[in-house]
Chains A and B, each alone.
Chain A
Amino acid sequence: MHHAWITVATAADRADRPAVGRRTALKTAIALGVGMSLPRSTALGQDDEQAALRPKAGDWLVKVGDAGLTPLTPEDIPVAAQQTMAWAMDPRTGIVRSGSRLNRVVLLRFDPDTLAASTRARAAGGVVAYTAICTHNGCEITDWLGDEQTLSCPCHSTRFDAKNGARVLDGPAPRPLPALPLVLAEGKLVVSRSFTARVGFELA
């Protein structure tokens, strides 16, 4: 099934591409009476800028494709299983930061005792967050190898150790996936700091 907002993607030039889905998502949120304060009149250009910004401290996380914009909690993330794709969302404005593919994050949940110390320090309720964008050629890290408990890139098969800073286990990626530190606030997953390193790869 396709979510309603999918159809709003336009053929506009990339430079001024609107945040895919955000506007309709907002309308959906309003229609559903989602309990958050939404500004009545926000300049569209400012919205687009906000949607393209990297996740910020205080942002909530919502599942990619969730028209209801339900803030994610640790319980929403399956333990030691396939990653959940998510966007950050500014809880004050309801703007989902889906305006850049570089903002897409993967969420995984583990028993905190199995996490490396530095990774555990960035985790919330056992949930760790990393960029979904591979540091090799920018593919999205969609694969989970359950047998070996590793993240894997479908394009060129780099495997990352999600329990230990997303270090490269093998494959062509030259560096780990930047992490997005989290904390818990009122049970919700909340971004505590910006990405630990630049997201993306060297285009040239």
Chain B
Amino acid sequence: MFAQRNTWRVLSIAAAALALTTAPGPGQQPPQPPPAAPVPTILLQYKAVTAERLKRPEDSDWLMIRRTYDGWGYSPLSRITTGNVARLQPAWVFSTGALNGHEAPAIVNNGVMFVSTPGNQVIALDAKTGSLLWRYRRPLPEDAVVLHPTTRGVAVYGDKVFLAANECVLVALDARTGMEVWTTKVEDNSQGYYMTLAPLVADGKVIVGASGGEFGVRGFVAAYDPETGAPIWKTYTVPAPGEPGSETWPRGEQWKTGGAPVWVTGNYDPETNLMYWGTGNGGPWMGDQRPGDNLYTASTVAIDAATGQIKGHHQYQPNESWDWDEVSPPILVDFRRNGRTIKGLIDVARDGYLWFLERTEGPIKFIEGVPYVAQNVFTGLDPKTGRPDIDPTRKPGTARPASFCPSHWGGKNWPPIAFSPRTRMIYIPANENLCAAIVGRQIEYMPGAPFTGATTTISLAPGADHIGEVQAWNVDTGRRVWTHKYAKSQTWGPMLATAGGLVFTGGTNDRKFRAFHAETGKVLWEFPTNSGITGQPSSFMVDGTQYVAVQSGWGIDSRAMQARLNTLMPGDYPEVPEGGAIWVFAVR
């Protein structure tokens, strides 16, 4: 210390003076951090998020990742229209300072915006001006297991902001200051549990699940007290012996490492207090090493928010062997079919099928399943249960390679669809013409070590002329209405629909954010951002102006697919620039 100060004195008298006035000497107090900046007025007036507001949000707000519990990704704002969207311009842009995939939406509560980014960061901004209000960064251990370094958003409730930190710690922040109120360890990161999803606040609880399908985790959904972080219930997505569904794990203790991770936030029906969560692949990846249907892998599970009890489920592919995680939850839409209105669930699955289901007080009923991309694995569906018949030559196994379409990335991966009640259409970011081959090898479980036992390669379907698509399907007819094909890009773009008759999405390798005509699919506006967009767009209003917000920040699987495509089509899919930014657009 003194030596250092002496060096400074030699180097610069001014620096020495500074050091002498700030460095502690014998009998002196250590330097104090500067006093906290005063809380900005906009935060002093922060509007608490009530359960009622989460159920019926003001039109101007975007209080949860898909805005409403039904998962529609729909804004009732209509000031940005098909007629004026051509004049959409950036209102402000804010650099996040982070790399990797930026997948979180801008959450907006009464003019205050919260955005999470890779690297356990939450940024609070004035939504109108982009001025920084506070910034929270939680250091990650150097050797943290985070195989998909992202975050899919924060949750807000009361005067708190909730972040599912990557190392599997749930964090509650004070919305006014960004200071930690409490933290709770959810699971052991060294065993392969990590979190990338946004927490769900439902029934007065804050609820999360964990990733780790690469490590033989035992998936779960768990609820915590928003005030204290105390655990309330934890429900495993792989049943223990004696529990319902345990008969689908006939071999020994395989249920302990059975997978079914939960890495995308579920949707919720306040009427029945049931949440609908999606689950991922089994552990290990090859089904022939874990005989049985393996509930509840590759399923939608209906969980009672009050107790955590599983009240119903639908498994999309029993004995999952294609790495088709069905984590993306179904949206809740009542649709018409055969002369009746069905309280429905609609799931656009990674397996390439569009599933129409019925929700009840508990069990999930099968209504209809149709492929939305080329799918060569299912030879048919049981008309009553929807259970697929599998072509055995298309099912990979241990030392038994098989090729199949769509690829392991799926017809649609995690990026959420949107639904517009005005057009009665869902909007799907799909990848067509991509296929994969997997070959498995025998693998033994070791805690914290990979437990996949599978090698995957991808290929193009014969005659492929494009990959990425936006598809629009009418939910009452079950028919496709329009398709937009991207000439030279895949898509990883979450969807936003608005009452202005528009659909917004990014997801392409040309860095563009686009607005489509919701009825026709015509591209009405596009803008090239700093990086590729894998963020969930949202829309909000402040002082009478409607805004559309999205994070641009390419990485993780979008980067991986781009690299694989560049190998298949050399030079056509060059590296996309990375580094995150928050963009906010308005009509000028």
Contact = CB atoms under 8 A, between A and B. Distances in A.
**Is chain B found bound to chain A in the same assembly?**
yes
Interface of A: 1-3, 6, 9-11, 13-15, 17, 20, 64-65, 85, 100-102, 136-140, 142-143, 145, 152, 154-158, 170-172, 200-204
Given A138-B145, A204-B121, 15 more contacts: A6-B447, A9-B188, A9-B190, A14-B188, A14-B190, A140-B449, A152-B455, A154-B456, A156-B557, A157-B456, A158-B560, A170-B566, A203-B119, A203-B144, A203-B149
B563 A154 contact: no
Nearest to B97: A204
B433 interface: no
18 contacts: A2-B446, A6-B447, A17-B190, A64-B449, A102-B143, A136-B559, A137-B100, A137-B148, A137-B149, A143-B455, A155-B560, A156-B556, A156-B563, A157-B456, A170-B563, A170-B566, A170-B567, A203-B140
A45 to B, nearest CB: 17
A170 B456 contact: no
Chain B, interface SS category: loop
Q: Considering the complex of A and B, which 4 residue pairs feature the smallest CB-CB distances, nearest first?
A: A204-B119, A156-B560, A170-B567, A172-B560
A172 B563 contact: yes
A138 to B, nearest CB: 6
B100 A139 contact: no
Contacts of B149: 137-138, 201, 203-204
Nearest to A146: B455
B450 interface: yes
A202 B100 contact: yes
Contacts of B456: 154, 157
A157 B564 contact: yes
B144 A154 contact: no
Contact of B185 (A1, A13, A154): A13
B444 A1 contact: yes
Contact of A155 (B147, B189, B190, B449): B147
Contacts of B167: 14
A15 B141 contact: yes
A23 to B, nearest CB: 15
B265 to A, nearest CB: 21
Nearest to A154: B452
Interface in B84-123: 97-100, 117-121
Interface string B201-217: 00000000000001000
A58 B121 CA distance: 40
B454 interface: yes
Given A11-B188, A172-B560, A101 B141 contact: no
Interface string B43-57: 000000000000000
A203 B166 CA distance: 10
A53 B454 CA distance: 31
Contact of B143 (A65, A154, A200): A200
A165 B141 CA distance: 28
B146 interface: yes
B312 interface: no
Contacts of A3: 446
B141 A9 contact: no
Given A155-B214, A170-B564, A101 B98 contact: no
B527 interface: no
Contact of A100 (B117, B143, B557): B143
Interface residues of B, number: 49
A76 B428 CA distance: 51
A137 B147 contact: yes
Contacts of B141: 14-15
Interface in B141-175: 141-149, 166-167
Given A101-B145, A138-B146, A157-B456, A171 B118 contact: no
A11 B121 CA distance: 25
A203 B146 contact: yes
B231 interface: no
Interface string B177-207: 0000000010011110000000000000000
Contacts of A137: 100, 146-149, 556
Contacts of B117: 204
B339 to A, nearest CB: 47
B556 A64 contact: no
Contacts of B448: 9, 20, 101
B385 interface: no
Nearest to A171: B563
Given A11-B188, A204-B119, A157 B142 contact: no
A145 B455 contact: yes
B101 to A, nearest CB: 9
Residue from B117, B140, B149 having most chain A Cβ neighbours under 10 A: B149
A111 B548 CA distance: 59
B168 to A, nearest CB: 9
B562 A172 contact: yes
Nearest to B118: A204
Contacts of B564: 157, 170-171
Residue from B144, B447, B457 having most chain A Cβ neighbours under 10 A: B447
Contacts of A15: 141
B560 A140 contact: no
A140 B144 contact: no
A171 B214 CA distance: 19
B458 interface: yes
Contact of A136 (B121, B143, B214, B560): B560
Given A138-B145, A140-B449, A154-B455, A204 B562 contact: no
Contacts of A65: 446
A139 B546 CA distance: 41
Nearest to B580: A204
B324 to A, nearest CB: 16
Contacts of B119: 203-204
B446 A157 contact: no
B559 A172 contact: yes
A14 B563 contact: no
Given A154-B452, A157-B457, A6 B446 contact: yes
A203 B567 CA distance: 26
A14 B262 CA distance: 21
B309 to A, nearest CB: 25
Contact of A142 (B118, B145, B190, B450): B450
Contacts of B143: 100-102, 200
A9 B192 CA distance: 12
A48 B205 CA distance: 38
A106 B148 CA distance: 22
Nearest to B559: A172
A102 B140 CA distance: 14
Contacts of A14: 141, 144, 167, 188-190
Nearest to B570: A170
Given A9-B191, A64-B446, A64-B449, A157 B560 contact: yes
A2 B447 CA distance: 10
